[in-house]
Amino acid sequence: MTPASRKIYVAGHRGMVGSALVRALTAKGERDILAIDRSALDLTDQKATRDFLMTEKPDEIIVAAARVGGIEANRSFPAEFLHENLAIASNVIHGAFEAGVKRLLFLGSSCIYPREAPQPISEDALLTGPLEPTNEAYAIAKIAGLKLCQFYRRQHGVCFHSVMPTNLYGPGDNYHPERSHVIPGLIRRFHEAKQRGDSEVVIWGTGTPLREFLHVEDLAAACLRLIEVENPPDWVNAGSGGEVTISELAALIAEATGFEGEIRTDPSKPDGTPRKALDSGKMRALDWTPKIGLRDGLAETCAAYAREHAADRH
């Protein structure tokens, strides 16, 4: 099947990852990209999802739809995070099988791995120990989606497989003050502090946890590479290979936003997992390498946020 003749459904096309996927597919010359707004299709509704897939019958699906958020959102709404993400995974994966879809790529998260997994974390660390409590509900739903893909493939021969990205950032992120991930949350905080003329910004935790970050456009490139591989692994990690502490990250964002005040930590707030670096050797063996460095990616993302903020989008 030539790329021009296949119909690809991107679930969650308005999110940060989904919109990057649509941009990457369009740039590659894909002409039949199927997307539908959440207002028109609720993926937590099993019947509606099945009916949509049976009607449209896409050739391939990339599942980027999810309820996402940072530590505070995951800690405050674990029932919703588990229920909604489990429903999305189950409805889309089973619906795809019923509709005769031969290929599906499911996007998970590095939080599926045990809190104390050996670093960098390889794919075989899955289910070898307890999860990080602050995002356990989200992780369980993503593990279930990964396993659904693995078992449908094993039992029915469909090419349903998964990719587990590290922490993502880039254009189209969620900058909600309580529900965002660490990078968009810090970007908003430093940008607003600069505008107010604040003398300091306080960040959660000790500032010592190590984190790996990947620009969303590099993830999109990884996904497009994966859906071209004839016999991909059941799941692969996708990470940048670099790490920074949260304090170092805050300093980079302060620089990118032009904030010149003091950065203080608040050890009374949770740190989350002490370290979470991925072994992305399998993905790199498939001829993929991230292109966007963290400093350059943050500068671009901060500039985009400033433009959107000026336009009153946030």
Using CB atoms within 10 Å of the CB of residue 269, give its burial: 0 to 12 exposed, 13 to 18 middle, 19+ buried: middle
Per the structure block, which two tokens stand in for 226? 């994966």
What is the identity of the amino acid at 123? E
Find the angle CA(63)-CA(69)-CA(74) to the nearest 5 degrees: 110
Q: Do 259 and 212 form a contact (C-beta atoms < 8 A)?
A: no
Residue positions annotated with a catalytic role: 138
Rounded to whole angstroms, what are the CA distances from 214 to 89, 90, 234, 260, 290? 23, 27, 21, 26, 8
CA torsion angle for 224, 226, 228, 230 (degrees, to 10)?
A: -170
Query: Running DSSP on this structure, what letter comes out for residue 123?
Result: G
Residue corresponding to tokens 């498939």: 286
> Amino acid letter at 199?
S
Question: What amino acid is encoded at 223 in this protein?
Answer: C
